[in-house]
Structure 1
């Protein structure tokens, strides 16, 4: 079961912070990253979270 995340991230295309919901993924180095989609323009949003 994938962990979900709800919060805000900076959209590079809109140049504003946007509220989004998405999945939490863990990289090889142990960093957690939330990935979702901008509700306005549809661009992929990423937010770096703390270590797992």
Structure 2
């Protein structure tokens, strides 16, 4: 269930779209993926289901 999300890359210092998987930890949903330009891990906190 990979989808496209928009997140902030700390290394590039820009907002980018990334392909990520949704995970749930401690009752919070996160989209985790990698930056398409530099390969750094990116996360985005999503709203509650």
Q: TM-score, normalised by structure 2?
A: 0.88
Q: Deviations over 1:3-23 (max 9, x none)?
A: 433121000000000111110
Q: Which structure 2 segments of 5+ residues have no match?
A: none
Q: TM-score, normalised by structure 1?
A: 0.84
CA distance in 1, matches of 2:3, 2:46: 10
RMSD: 1.1
Q: Deviations over 1:20-50 (max 9, x none)?
A: 111000012x110000000000000000001
CA distance in 2, matches of 1:16, 1:33: 19
Alignment length, in residue pairs? 49
Rg larger in structure:
1
